[in-house]
Structure 1
Amino acid sequence: MAYTDPMPTPDYPLLRENIWQITPEEPLAYVETPDGCFEVETGQALAFLRVRPHCTPHNNVARIAERSGTHPEQVSAMLAALDSIGAIGPRRGDVIERLTRAVELWGAELARDFIANALLDEAMPRTVLLGWLLETYHYVRDFPEAIAEAAARAPEGPLRQLLLRYVAEERGHERFVLETLENLGLSRAEVEASHPLISTRMIGFLMRDLFAAAPVAVLLMAAMVEAQAIPDERTLEFQHEIERHFDLAPGALGPYFKHQEIDARLGHHRLFADNLACFDIEDEAVLDLVVDRLHDLKHGFDLQGLEIRHYYGGQDGAYLPRQPMPMRAI
Structure 2
Amino acid sequence: MQNAQARIEHPRLRHCTFKWVSDDSPMLMIVGKEYFEITEDFGTREQFLTIKRYFDGRHSIAQIAERAGVDEDSVRQIAQTFDELGLLYRTRPMASVPAKAFTEQIEASCDMWGRQIGFHNLFAGLESGDLRGEVFMGMILETYHYVKAAPKHIATAIAHCDDERLVPLLSRYFTEEYNHAGMLLQSLKKMGVPKEHIKSAHPVIGTWSLINNLCEIARQDTLSYIACTTLFEARADDFEEGTESLRRAARTAGYPEACAEPLITHMRIDVEAGHVGLLDEAVGILGDIPAANAHKAVNNLHDLKHSYDQFHDGIVQYYSDIANYIPRIKVDYFSL
Scaled by the length of structure 2, what TM-score is found?
0.86
Match of 1:329 among 325, 329, 335: 335
CA contact (8 A) 2:201 2:329 kept: yes
From 132, 156, 179, the equivalent of 2:139 is 132
> In the alignment, is residue 212 of structure 1 matched against residue 210 of structure 2?
no
Structure 1 stretch displaced more, 284-293 or 176-185: 284-293
Task: Give the 3 Å change call, closer, same or farther, for CA 49–238 of structure 1 in structure 2.
Answer: closer
Q: 1:6 to 1:329 in 2, by over 3 A?
A: farther
Which amino acid is 2:205 matched to? I
For 1:268 and 1:103, locate their aligned partners in 2 and report how far apart those are by CA, in whole Å: 14
Amino acid of the residue matched to residue 11 of structure 1? Answer: E
Q: Which residue of 181, 186, 199 corresponds with 2:193?
A: 186
Superposed counterparts of 1:56-75, under 5 Å: 56-75=56-75
**Aligned amino acid, residue 127 of structure 1:** E
Q: Counterpart amino acid of 1:277?
A: G
CA distance in structure 2 between the aligned counterparts of 1:39 and 1:277, rounded to whole angstroms: 36
Aligned ranges for residues 181-260 of structure 1 at < 5 Å?
181-226=188-233, 231-234=238-241, 237-260=244-267
Greater RCO structure (CA 8 Å; 6+ sep): 2
Q: Does the alignment pair 1:79 with 2:86? A: no
| Deviating more after overlay: 184-193 vs 205-214 | 205-214
1:16 to 14, 17, 22: 14
Once the two structures are TM-superposed, the CA of residue 301 in structure 1 deviates from its matched residue by: 0.4
CA displacement at 1:245 relative to structure 2: 2.3
Deviates further, 82-91 or 261-270: 82-91
C-alpha change, 1:27 and 1:134, in structure 2 (3 Å) is: closer
Does the 8 A contact of 1:180 with 1:256 survive in 2? Answer: yes
* Contact 2:7-2:90 within 8 A present in 1 as well: no
Deviates more, 1:172-181 or 1:235-244: 235-244
Give the distance between the partners of 1:310 and 1:182, measured in 2 at CA: 23
Q: Where does residue 30 of structure 1 map in the other structure?
A: 28
- Give the residue type in structure 2 aligned to 1:30: L
Q: Is the 8 A contact 2:183 2:262 kept in 1?
A: yes
- The alpha carbon displacement at 1:310 in A equals 1.3
- CA gap 1:117/1:164 in 2 versus in 1, 3 angstroms: farther
Question: Residue 313 of structure 1: CA displacement?
Answer: 1.1
For 1:27 and 1:198, the matched residues in 2 are separated by 36
Q: Does the 8 Å CA contact 1:147/1:163 hold for their aligned counterparts?
A: yes
CA separation in 1, counterparts of 2:193 and 2:252?
19
Deviations 1:142-193 (A, max 9, x none): 1221011111222564411100111111111111111111111111221121
- TM-score w.r.t. the length of structure 1 is 0.88
Please give the root-mean-square deviation of Cα atoms over the aligned residues, in Å. Answer: 2.7
SS in 2 for 1:32: strand
Query: Is the 2:234–2:271 contact (alpha carbons within 8 Å) kept by the matching residues of 1?
Result: no
Confirm whether residue 320 of structure 1 aligns to residue 326 of structure 2.
yes
Superposed CA offset, 1:34-74 (max 9, x none): 47211110466543201122222322111111111121111
Give the letter aligned to residue 27 of structure 2: A
Query: Which ranges in structure 1 are unaligned for 5 or more consecutive residues?
Result: none
> For structure 1, which segment, 107-116 or 256-265, has the greater mean C-alpha deviation from structure 2 after superposition?
107-116
Instruction: Call closer, same or farther: CA 1:20–1:216 in 2, change over 3 Å.
Output: same
Per mean C-alpha deviation after superposition, the further-off stretch among 95-104 and 176-185 is 95-104
How many angstroms apart in 1 are the aligned matches of 2:294 and 2:3?
14
* Residues 277-298 of structure 1, C-alpha deviations (whole Å, 9 max, x = no match): 2346844333323211210110
Shift in alpha-carbon separation, 1:205–1:243, aligned structure 2, 3 A: closer
Letter in 1 for 2:66: E
Whole-angstrom distance in 2 between the partners of 1:126 and 1:230: 28
Report what 1:162 is aligned to. Answer: 169
Asked if 1:90 is matched to 2:96, the reply is no
Deviates more, 1:88-97 or 1:157-166: 88-97
- Unaligned 5+ runs, structure 2: none
How far apart are the structure 2 equivalents of 1:192 and 1:148?
22
Supply the distance in 1 between the matched residues of 2:254 and 2:237 (Cα, whole angstroms): 21
Looking at structure 2, the residues matched to 251 and 306 of structure 1 have their Cα atoms a distance apart, in angstroms, of: 26
